[in-house]
Amino acid sequence: MATLAVIAAAAAGAGAYAWQPSIDALPERPVPAVNQAQLAQGARIAAQGDCMVCHTSAHGKPYAGGLPLKTPFGTIYSTNITPDTATGIGSWSLAAFERAMRSGVSRDGHLLYPAFPYAHFTRG
Ligand code: HEC
C-alpha cells in the first residue's frame, strides 16, 4: 500500500513537471497593423536562427512544419510556425512565444522535445 502511494505521488510529480499552465490564445482578429521595421527585424532573426531548415518539410510550404527528425526515442515532426491561427502559431501571444523559445514549453503547456533547440535561445 505504501509502495502504491509512493508511485502515485511520483507519477503526480512527474505529471506536474511535464505539464505547465497553458497561456490563453489571443482574441479573434483584427490583427494589429504590421509594423514594417518589426517585420524586417523578425525576418532577419528567423533567417539567422535558420528556423526554416527544420520547420519546412521537403517540398512543403515554408515554416509549415512536418519535417521528420529521427531521435533515439522515435521520430519527432517539426511544428507549423506560420501565422495561421488554426494550424500555426498566429493566435499565440508574445508571452506564449517567448516561453516556447526560452523554456521549451508549448502554448498549451506541454513540454517540447529538445530536437527544437530552445536551449540555444535562452539568453537574451
Ligand atoms: C534543429 C531544428 C529546429 C530549428 C533550427 C528550429 N526549430 Fe522550432 N521546433 C523544432 C521541433 C522538432 C519542434 C517540435 C518539438 C516538439 O514537438 O516537441 C519545434 C517547435 C517549435 C515551436 C513550438 C510550436 C508549438 O506548436 O508548440 C516554436 C514556436 C518554434 N519551434 C519556433 C522556432 C523558431 C522561431 C526557430 C528559429 C529561431 C526555430 N523554431 C528553429 C525544430 C527546430
Q: Residue 109 pLDDT > 90, yes or no?
A: yes
Average confidence score pLDDT of the chain: 88
Pocket of ligand 1 (CB under 6 A): 46, 49-51, 53-55, 69, 76, 78-79, 81, 89, 97, 100, 106, 112-113, 115-117
Mean pLDDT, rounded, for 61-71: 96
Q: What is the DSSP string of 1-50?
A: -HHHHHHHHHHHHHHHHHBPPP-PPPPS-PPPPP-HHHHHHHHHHHHHHT
d(CA 118, CA 98): 10
Q: pTM here?
A: 0.86
Q: Best mutation site among 112, 113, 121 for ligand 1, i.e. most ligand atoms within 8 A of its Cβ?
A: 112
d(CA 77, CA 66): 5
pLDDT at 11: 65
Q: pLDDT tens digits for 3-54? A: 767 666 666 666 666 789 999 998 876 666 778 898 899 999 999 999 999 9
- Atom 17, ligand 1: which residue's CA is nearest? 112
Mean pLDDT, rounded, for 73-86: 94
pLDDT at 114: 87
- CA 79 to centroid of ligand 1, rounded, Å: 6
* Nearest atom of ligand 1 to the alpha carbon of 97: 29
Strand partners, 69: 76
pLDDT at 71: 92
pLDDT at 15: 62
pLDDT at 122: 82
d(CA 69, CA 78): 7
